[in-house]
Amino acid sequence: MSTEIVFETHSWSEDNDRGVATGWLPGRLSPRGRALAAELGQRRRDDGVAAVFVSDLRRAAETADIAFSGTQVPVLYDWRLRECDYGERNGMPAAQLHEHRDRHLDEPYPGGESWRQAVHRVGRFLDDVTLRWAGQRVLVIGHVATRWAFDHWINGVPLEDLINADFAWREGWEYRMPDPHDRPERTEPRPVSAC
């Protein structure tokens, strides 16, 4: 029995306006972002979702709070859905940070994590979500790392293909998570050799 996962990114933030890569910093929604969060709620409140899972970073939590305020849909916060941790580079200009993003596929950002580590972290969420919500439709509000993990673990897209692709925003992505017995076992990230 498959679990349906609808993925939405957090709404537009003040850092998006400024061209900043927020990473593990909390961030805040801009006025445009709050309006988009309300639209997300209108789109998804009656979409048959049994639960909403959301990154615990402020910009994502604020998106869920606005979108699902006053509903009976449970909103559950999970740190594993966070963006990649850019470590010392959290909060730097996004264009500068992402110029050589492929260098950090396996090599962690200074004081942070690699993209592969972030995708494996989100993969652990996927392992757990079917324990309670198997056969149901759930909504996940997260970040680039969250979506890449879904593309990688559910659709089999190699991270090497995702790392250089542009992140094109749209109103949601839909995934079908197979029964846990039908999924291949996850492997841990490859160790990174010290330079």
pLDDT tens across 11-33, in order? 999 999 999 999 999 999 999 99
Q: For the whole model, what pTM was predicted?
A: 0.89
Domain residues of the chain, as ranges? 3-182
- The architecture that CATH gives domain 3-182 is 3-Layer(aba) Sandwich (3.40)
User: Is 63 in contact with 146 (CB distance < 8 Å)?
Assistant: no
Q: Which residues of the chain are under the pLDDT cut of 50?
A: 186, 188-195
| DSSP labels, 152-185 | HHTT---HHHHTTS-----S-EEEEE--GGGSPP
Token pair 């949601």: residue = 172
Catalytic-role residue among 4, 8, 62, 83: 83
pLDDT at 22: 95
Catalytic-role residue among 8, 10, 98, 143: 10
Q: Is 10 known to be catalytic?
A: yes
Q: Is 14 known to be catalytic?
A: no
pLDDT at 50: 96
Q: Which amino acid is at 22?
A: T
Considering just the CA atoms, what is the radius of gyration of the chain in Å?
16
Q: What is the pLDDT of residues 31-65, one digit of tens each?
A: 999 999 999 999 999 999 999 999 999 999 999 99
pLDDT at 164: 84
Helix residue spans in the chain (DSSP H): 14-18, 31-44, 58-68, 94-98, 115-133, 144-153, 159-162
For residue 83, give the 3-state DSSP assignment. Answer: coil
